[in-house]
Structure 1
Amino acid sequence: MLPKIIAALYPILVFIALVFVFKFFRLRHLTNRRLKIPDVYTLFLILGLKIFSSQLVTISILPYYFLIVSGLALVLLLLDVFYYRAFVFRRFLKLWWRVTFIITFVMYLGFLIVIFMR
């Protein structure tokens, strides 16, 4: 039961730690106000998915996650090329990374629901 509780508290604790780090070290000012908490938070959620899925469930969620994120990149690339008739890498990467954050967060919440329903 303790690993399940740690897995549930992990996103909250990481978010609080990131807020503290961003305020204490003034990371937004150092990066010209471009780096935001969700940009870094995504990496920690991916790490949490890897660690907790290998410990609490018999299969790893990471291959499925990377398949979804790769499909998202392909769809966004095709939309960029066919809709805008141009490909701007900076705009594509920013949009892809922000949507990846949403997908990662939803998958982590789904993972928590699955482990607590077992």
Structure 2
Amino acid sequence: MLPKIIATLYPLLTWLVLVFAFKFLRIRQLTRRKLLIADVYVLFLIYGLQLFSEQITAVNILPYYLLILSILALILLLLDLFYYKAFDYKRFFKLFWRLTFIITLALYIAMIVMIYLH
């Protein structure tokens, strides 16, 4: 039961740690561009997905997650080429990383729901 509670609280705790780190350590000013909390938070969510999915469910979600991200990148690339007729890597990576955050958060929430329903 304790791993389920830790897996559930992990996103909230990492978000709070990142908020305090960005506020008090001034991480945002260390980069040339404005770094957002969500940009770093994705990495912690991916680590949490891998760690908790393997420990609690005995199924590693990471290969499926990487497949989803690969399909997302391919779709975004094709939309960029067909809609804009050009490829702008800055716009592509920014949109890809923001959509990666949304997909990762949704997959993590789905994993938590799956853990409690099982």
Equivalent position amino acid for 2:93 in 1: L
Instruction: List runs of 5+ in structure 2 lacking aligned partners.
Output: none
Equivalent position amino acid for 2:74 in 1: L
Equivalent pairs: percent with the same residue? Answer: 59
Offset of residue 28 of structure 1? 1.5
Q: Structure 2 CA distance, aligned partners of 1:55 and 1:16?
A: 24
Q: Which residue of 2 aligns with 1:81?
A: 81
Offset of residue 24 of structure 1? 1.1
- Residues 58-97 of structure 1 mapped to structure 2, 5 A cutoff: 58-97=58-97
The 10-residue stretch of structure 1 (87-96 or 25-34) with the greater mean CA deviation from structure 2: 25-34
Q: Which residue of 2 aligns with 1:43?
A: 43
Offset of residue 109 of structure 1? 0.1
Structure 1 residue 52 corresponds to structure 2 residue 52: yes
Deviations 1:6-50 (A, max 9, x none): 000000000000001001111122224521000000000000000
Q: Structure 2 CA distance, aligned partners of 1:34 and 1:96?
A: 17
Q: Structure 1 CA distance, aligned partners of 2:50 and 2:14?
A: 15
* Structure-1-length-normalised TM-score: 0.97
The 10-residue stretch of structure 1 (31-40 or 105-114) with the greater mean CA deviation from structure 2: 31-40
Q: Number of paired residues?
A: 118
Equivalent position amino acid for 1:113 in 2: V
Other structure's SS at 1:71 match:
helix
CA RMSD, Structure 1 to Structure 2 (Å): 0.8
Equivalent position amino acid for 2:68 in 1: I
